[in-house]
Chains A and B, each alone.
Chain A
């Protein structure tokens, strides 16, 4: 999968680039509007990550341009402003999702994968990992052809792990992914611990492999073979 990252902050761009490359994407980056415009004009991408506050232009205009080329390109907006107005405008222009800085890299990764899934496979894809079979469009998880019963949050949790397999996920990023803005309105970290415990239990009980490892002091990691 080919991605274009349009972000003017050099360090941030570098970090995101590295993370995405590790995930197996082919990445390109642009540091400003002009560079981005040229790249969009010349090449095709599966997903474009756009920062809307660029030094020499607006990311929203880039989105308009991308859409005008009638491409089935996924668009993820990243922005320092959590502006409802910008969000609506962006989504109306055809962006798929909106993420506010600062965000967890794992969260961004999950969103990109989700966009790609929707656009490339129309949601008809299958994920096979270790001995788990996941059908995202039906939110079904089965092990050895047997369906396991997961709550909505447990499913979201599992998918988050799988999207970020072999990466260390902090407890905070997990809590924020599952609970969103509400994550800080209660003591979510204990709760995350308990939910992961339940998830692991369900997988093990259904003769799945226990791939969720806890990393001392930080969080968890899903180990995929």
Chain B
């Protein structure tokens, strides 16, 4: 759940509870108060009525004051009480609710029953005339403070969200430190410092490792070159026996293998680097056709038939060298791992490229061939890195790649973003 949403929901719930409780309390207080006041006024009125009786005056004033004469015994039986009562008002032709004080009075042997009434401020009236405005006021206060709290939280957390976005974009191979917005909140400043330290360490370690690997690979090139040139010179000797020739040739071939492996590893490491940073918009249709033309001779020699289907015109933004390497590897594999008189099919659609070739069944799960050194049949002549390189290039350009073996066809599908 999002932070601001969570804060606001909690705030809303608790505030609402408090408001409801508060409103309830206010309601009952007001009601109790108004009842108390009403009752007090009734007693005052009753006392006045009693005084009037003593003075011999008649203070009947229907419906406010109603005095009945009754027997002394009846009067003794009346208990003074306050009740709600409905009184029919002739002039209004309706019943009206009154708060009524019933009191007995005895004077000079005559019993009196005094009804003193006042219009009842009933519950609904309280609710609407007082309760509602107060409730509305409370809700208004709630909404306003909700808004204010939201704004305050938003401005406090805004740099935090920006930093989350920046951190998501961070990668160990970045060549700049991650940019974190500054806060004036101490805890966040602390967090920032920790994150900065952590990400810088990651970057540094990654760079060191990368440089180390690159240096090792480069250092290997020169000794390999020395072996190669020496063996080539040895092969020039016309007096070498067949067995010696064979041995030297094997050394030569092995050195070639080593140096190809080394080059591939170096390439793998370099794919994300500045060497291949420049991107261009390239029309795939033309590029693929050119590639097919390049390998046509080889395919003809191997008896392979290449067919291409272009359903759409597709352009992508990518480094040209990487694209070339990628297609060289894909087509190379399609030729290498094929039968005599086999087929190669190329399909290009709006958002994907498929290359299929006939070939022997795979011994393992197709997706494992993207891992380093996962080889197929031609184990000694391939570096095992071809598909790994292709996958790296795809990953770098946010394309997904899939390899399946179906209906006796190896099929590699690349989906563009």
Which residues of A are interface residues toward B (Cβ below 8 A)? 9, 11-12, 15-16, 18-19, 80-85, 100-106, 153, 167-168, 170, 172-173, 181-182, 184-188, 190-191, 194, 216-218
Instruction: Kindly state whether residue B415 has any CB partner on chain A within 8 Å.
Output: no
Q: Kindly name the residue among B224, B249, B294 whose own CB sees the greatest number of chain A CB atoms within 10 A.
A: B249
Check A18–B233 contact: CB distance below 8 A.
yes
Question: Can you name 9 A-B pairs with beta carbons within 8 Å?
Answer: A11-B226, A102-B255, A104-B232, A172-B256, A173-B232, A181-B328, A185-B329, A185-B332, A218-B235
Instruction: Kindly state whether residue B228 has any CB partner on chain A within 8 Å.
Output: yes
Contact with A along B227-259 (1 / 0, CB 8 A): 111101101100000100110010011011001
B266 to chain A: closest residue by CB: A82
Check B336–A187 contact: CB distance below 8 A.
yes
Q: Report B-chain residues with C-beta under 8 Å of the C-beta of A9.
A: 222, 225-226
Check A170–B232 contact: CB distance below 8 A.
yes
Check B235–A15 contact: CB distance below 8 A.
no
Assembled-state Cα–Cα distance A110/B332 (Å): 26
Q: Report A-chain residues with C-beta under 8 Å of the C-beta of B226.
A: 9, 11-12, 15
Check A182–B229 contact: CB distance below 8 A.
no
Check A80–B332 contact: CB distance below 8 A.
no
Min Cβ gap A6→B in Å is 14
Check A187–B225 contact: CB distance below 8 A.
no
Assembled-state Cα–Cα distance A68/B251 (Å): 43
Instruction: Kindly state whether residue B263 has any CB partner on chain A within 8 Å.
Output: yes
Check A11–B236 contact: CB distance below 8 A.
no
Check A172–B236 contact: CB distance below 8 A.
no
Assembled-state Cα–Cα distance A11/B115 (Å): 131
Check B229–A16 contact: CB distance below 8 A.
yes
Check A102–B221 contact: CB distance below 8 A.
yes
Given contacts A101-B225, A173-B232, 6 further A-B contacts (CB under 8 A): A19-B233, A80-B218, A80-B222, A105-B229, A216-B245, A217-B249
Check A105–B242 contact: CB distance below 8 A.
no
B259 to chain A: closest residue by CB: A102
Check A217–B222 contact: CB distance below 8 A.
no
Check B233–A81 contact: CB distance below 8 A.
no
Instruction: Kindly state whether residue B4 has any CB partner on chain A within 8 Å.
Output: no
B333 to chain A: closest residue by CB: A185
Check A85–B275 contact: CB distance below 8 A.
yes
**Known: A84-B321, A102-B224. Contact between A218 and B275, CB under 8 A?**
no
Instruction: Kindly state whether residue B29 has any CB partner on chain A within 8 Å.
Output: no
B336 to chain A: closest residue by CB: A186
Q: How many interface contacts (CB-CB < 8 Å) are there between A and B? A: 112
Check B225–A186 contact: CB distance below 8 A.
no
Q: Report B-chain residues with C-beta under 8 Å of the C-beta of A216.
A: 242, 245
Min Cβ gap A31→B in Å is 13
Instruction: Kindly state whether residue B297 has any CB partner on chain A within 8 Å.
Output: yes
Check B332–A101 contact: CB distance below 8 A.
no
Q: Report A-chain residues with C-beta under 8 Å of the C-beta of B302.
A: 186-187
Check A185–B336 contact: CB distance below 8 A.
yes
Q: Report A-chain residues with C-beta under 8 Å of the C-beta of B295.
A: 182, 186
Question: Which of B232, B275, B276, B381 sits near A105, CB closer than 8 Å?
Answer: B232
Check A168–B228 contact: CB distance below 8 A.
no
Instruction: Kindly state whether residue B86 has any CB partner on chain A within 8 Å.
Output: no
Q: Report B-chain residues with C-beta under 8 Å of the C-beta of A191.
A: 298, 301
**Known: A81-B218, A186-B332. Contact between A11 and B230, CB under 8 A?**
yes
Min Cβ gap A125→B in Å is 26
**Known: A16-B229, A85-B274. Contact between A186 and B335, CB under 8 A?**
yes
Q: Report A-chain residues with C-beta under 8 Å of the C-beta of B275.
A: 83-85
Q: Report A-chain residues with C-beta under 8 Å of the C-beta of B297.
A: 153
**Known: A9-B226, A85-B274, A85-B275. Contact between A170 and B333, CB under 8 A?**
no
**Known: A16-B229, A106-B232, A170-B232. Contact between A186 and B298, CB under 8 A?**
yes
Min Cβ gap A25→B in Å is 16
Query: 5 nearest interchain CB pairs?
Result: A185-B332, A102-B225, A80-B221, A15-B229, A101-B225
Check B222–A187 contact: CB distance below 8 A.
no
Assembled-state Cα–Cα distance A102/B383 (Å): 17
Contact with A along B251-279 (1 / 0, CB 8 A): 01101100110010011000000111000
Check A194–B301 contact: CB distance below 8 A.
yes
Instruction: Kindly state whether residue B331 has any CB partner on chain A within 8 Å.
Output: yes
Check B328–A185 contact: CB distance below 8 A.
yes
Assembled-state Cα–Cα distance A106/B252 (Å): 14
Q: Report A-chain residues with C-beta under 8 Å of the C-beta of B225.
A: 9, 12, 80, 101-103
A188 to chain B: closest residue by CB: B298
Q: Report B-chain residues with C-beta under 8 Å of the C-beta of A190.
A: 301
Instruction: Kindly state whether residue B104 has any CB partner on chain A within 8 Å.
Output: no
Check A12–B242 contact: CB distance below 8 A.
no
Check B229–A12 contact: CB distance below 8 A.
yes
Instruction: Kindly state whether residue B386 has any CB partner on chain A within 8 Å.
Output: yes
